Amino acid sequence: MKRPIAISIAAAFLTPIAAAVPASAQDVGTFTREDLKADIEAFLTSSEMARVRTSADRGDPYSIIKVVDALDKKYSGNSIVLIEVKVRYLAVAMGKGYGPAFFRMGEMVRLGQLPEGGPMDALDFFEKGAAAGDADSAIAYFKMARDLRVCSICEQGPRGTETKLIEQVTHSETAAMKNAGVFSNEYVQIRRGIEDRTVSTYNVEKMALVKKAIGLLDQDSLKANWDAQSFLANAYIYGVNGAKSIDLRNGKFVETGDSKFMNADPAKARPILERFAASKEQGALDLLSRLYLTGVINGYPKDRAKFISYTSQLADLGNTNAAYRLGHFMVAGDPFPPDFDLGAKYLYIAHEAGSARATLDLARMFYSGRGVPKNEATAFSLFEIAGNRGSSDAADVMAQYWRDGIGGTANPMRAEIWAKKAKENRDKEAAAAALTKQLGLSPI
C-alpha cells in the first residue's frame, strides 16, 4: 500500500543527501550532481546567504523560507539535488506548523517536481498551510478546488491535459456486463448507471472541496488579507461553476454557469467589499464601481451615487482606468444622467495619464461641443494624439481629415499613413480584447 506523501517525503529526506540520491542520477542543465551540490553549498555559505542559512539550519521557519526562495531564484530546473535541499528545509518548517512552508511544498507537488504525489496531495499541503493562517495556501486550495480537472477520481492523460473520470464500477456490475451483450439493453442500462454514479461521485466531491475552500478563505486569520478575501467575495458574487453531466460523461471538462459547485450569494460579499473599500483597497473599490455601474448582480442595482463615490475614490488614488470609466459614463449619459463637469475633469486626468480612450472622448466632446465649447482645432489635435496612442477610431478620423482636406489642405500621403495606422491600431485592439475576454476581465 502506498504511504501518504507526507510520510514518504519525511522518510526520504531524513537520510543524508548522498544516500538519498542514486549515484547515476544526473541534474538538468550543465551541472553534474556533484557540481550542483558544491555550487549550492558555496551559494548558501556566501556572504549574501551565510547569516540566513545559519538561522535556517537552526530551524527558524522564516529563514528557511528565505533560503528556499533564494534557491528558486538562483537555480532553474527540477534537479534532484536542488529538490532534496528544498524539501529537507521545508520539512523542518512544516514540522513547526509554518504555513508558507506547506504552500511551497504544495506547489512543488502540484507542479510534479517530486517523484510522487498528485493534485490531491497538493491540496492536502495547501489545506494545512491555510489552516496555519497562510493566505497563499488558502488561495491555492480554492483555485484547485474549483479546477474541473482536480478530483480523486480524475485521471490525467500522458500530456497532462487529457483528463477522464475513473469509473466507479462494482464487481457485480463488471460480471453483469461480461454476461450481457455489448449492444443489449441490459448492458446499456448498466453502463448508464455507472456513468451516473461516477458523475455524482465527482460532483459531490467537488462541492465538498469548494465548501472546504470557502471555509479556509473565510477564517478569522485571513479577514484582513485582501488577496484571500477578494477570491471569497468573487465566489459569493458569481458562485463557482461546474460542468454539465453530459459533458463529463463524454470526457469534456467544460465550465458552465448552468451547473454550480456553489451557488452565488452576493449579499455575503457586501460586508467584505465595503470593509476593504473603507480602507481604500483598490480592488474592492474597483469591484464595487463595476457592480453599481452594471446592476447585473442581485443586490447591487445600478446606483449613480455609489458608482460615482467608489469610482472617484479609485481614480483619486491614481487608477487611470477608473478615471476614464467615471469620465466616460458621466459624459455619455448612459446608464446615468450626465455630469459634464465631473466627466470632463476625470477624462482630462486619464488623458494626462496617457489613456487613448480618454483622449478620444475629449476629442469628440470638443468636436461636437458636448459639455464643452465647440472647438474643432482642439478636437483634431486630440484626435491626432489619440491615434498615436493606439485608438483606431481616432486614426480613422485623421485619415479622413487629410483625405478630404478638412483642415483646408488635402494630403493623400498623410491620409494613407493614417489609414495604415488605423489598421494597425485595430489589430492591436482586437488582440487586447481577445486577451481581456480570455482572462475574464472587463474592458472598462
DSSP-assigned letter for residue 160: S
Q: Is residue 76 exposed (0-12), middle (13-18) or buried (19+ Cβ within 10 Å)?
A: exposed
Are residues 166 and 44 both part of a single domain? no
| Residue 178 grid coordinates | 461480461
The SS3 assignment for 150 reads coil
Task: Report the run of H or E that residue 243 belongs to, with start and end.
Answer: strand 240-243
pLDDT beneath 70, residues of the chain: 1-31, 158-161
Are residues 13 and 158 both part of a single domain? no
Question: Facing residues of 83 across strands?
Answer: none
> How many other C-beta atoms are found inside a 10 Å radius of the C-beta of residue 172?
9
> How many separate domains does the chain show?
3
| Spatial distance between the Cα atoms of 69 and 45, rounded to a whole number of angstroms | 16
| Spatial distance between the Cα atoms of 410 and 402, rounded to a whole number of angstroms | 5
Residue 401 located in a structural domain = yes
* Range of the structural domain that residue 249 is part of: 133-264
**Residues whose CB is less than 8 angstroms from the CB of residue 114 and which lie 6 or more positions away in sequence, other chains included:** 5, 9, 83, 87, 108
| Spatial distance between the Cα atoms of 194 and 325, rounded to a whole number of angstroms | 52
Residue 103 located in a structural domain = no
CA separation (Å) from 410 to 134, 384, 403, 415? 65, 16, 6, 8
Are residues 424 and 293 both part of a single domain? yes
Residue 443 located in a structural domain = no
Are residues 302 and 235 both part of a single domain? no
Domain end residue (candidates: 40, 73, 98): 98
**Residues whose CB is less than 8 angstroms from the CB of residue 45 and which lie 6 or more positions away in sequence, other chains included:** 53
| Residue 266 grid coordinates | 452576493
Judge whether 327 and 358 are in contact, CB under 8 Å.
Answer: yes
CATH number at residue 290: 1.25.40.10
